[in-house]
Amino acid sequence: MGTLSAATSRILNSKLERKIMSAATAAGLIQTGDQIGMSGFTGSGYPKAVPIELAHRIADAHFRGEKFQVSVFTGASTGPELDGALAMAGGIHLRLPYQSDPETRKRINAGEMDYMDIHLSHVAQFVEYGFLGKLDVALIEVAAILEDGRVVPSSSLGNNKTWIDCAEHVILEVNSWQPAALEGMHDIYYGLEPPPNRKPIPLVKPGQRIGSPYLNIPAEKIVGIVLTDSPDRNSASKAPDEASKRIAGHILEFLSWEVKKGLMPANLLPLQSGVGNIAKAVLFGPEEGPFEGLTSYTEVIRDGMIRLLKSGKLSSASATAFSLS
């Protein structure tokens, strides 16, 4: 009961509170052939309860000899409760963009699942312009729903705004495991108009705010709300090995030369961090390096950036997801 009450306390809008249902009931709203935009970015902020129930439903249909598959669009990779469960049930017709699940990869390589390896930055535009057909459902994890219906995003944003804008129906997973303190951290830009009236996005510094901390979802689009208390797919933080540290040293030496030659300012240009031990090691390096007032505009904020923020070396970091140990 504690988990249920904690999640219920995150839904402050009485009309939307009436749409609370079980994950199995919510999965029952999804039909074979549906195209689903699911939240999630590198194991952060992805829906965890409804995909598992959908996988059960698909497996039952296949056992009865009925065909049941859906297409799954995300921000990036997710977790075993989503990609793994649906792939294992043979429930994914088309998957895009980036994914890292071993079962999904096996089925893609076996020709049992269609896959488009387009760059994840292009997916939202593909869906928005209708290149991939109609988006039937947006299945999005969030941290809370406020009294006026505004929604506090979870630990990642990815393509969530586009999924919500384009989908015919929206199902929300309100996850009380996600910290309530996430409220206010996001910056969702609602200023884009379709061409030819689209103007440049007025963002020139990583620390700028140009949008809203909340997702705006028309109440009539929301067909179900599921309460959860499930953790993200957190990865353990390991100290970099010697080879990674040496690579980091070479990169810091290169950056120092760029500053000396006048090709970069003393606080460098905004950093982007990748995934893996080398990227982690590079983030360890600036803690001991000569650079101050650093900024980062990247896809994912990881442990190394948190350390740099705490030490004062990094003044601001902007990303679309937290992926912490």
CA 20-21-25 angle, to 5 degrees, is 150
Q: Please give the single-letter amino acid code of residue 247.
A: I
Q: How far apart are CA 300 and CA 302, in angstroms?
A: 6
CB under 8 Å to 180, separation ≥6 — which residues?
A: 10, 143, 144, 152
* Structural tokens at position 276: 């893996």
* Structural tokens at position 184: 């206010």
Q: How far apart are CA 267 and CA 232, in angstroms?
A: 33
Measuring CA to CA, which residue among 79, 101, 83 is closest to residue 92?
Answer: 83
Q: Which of 53, 81, 173, 299 is catalytic?
A: 299
Q: In this structure, what are the phi and psi dihedrals at residue 21, rounded to the nearest 5 degrees? A: -150, 170
Is-catalytic flag, 299?
Answer: yes
Give the residue numbers marked as catalytic.
Answer: 299
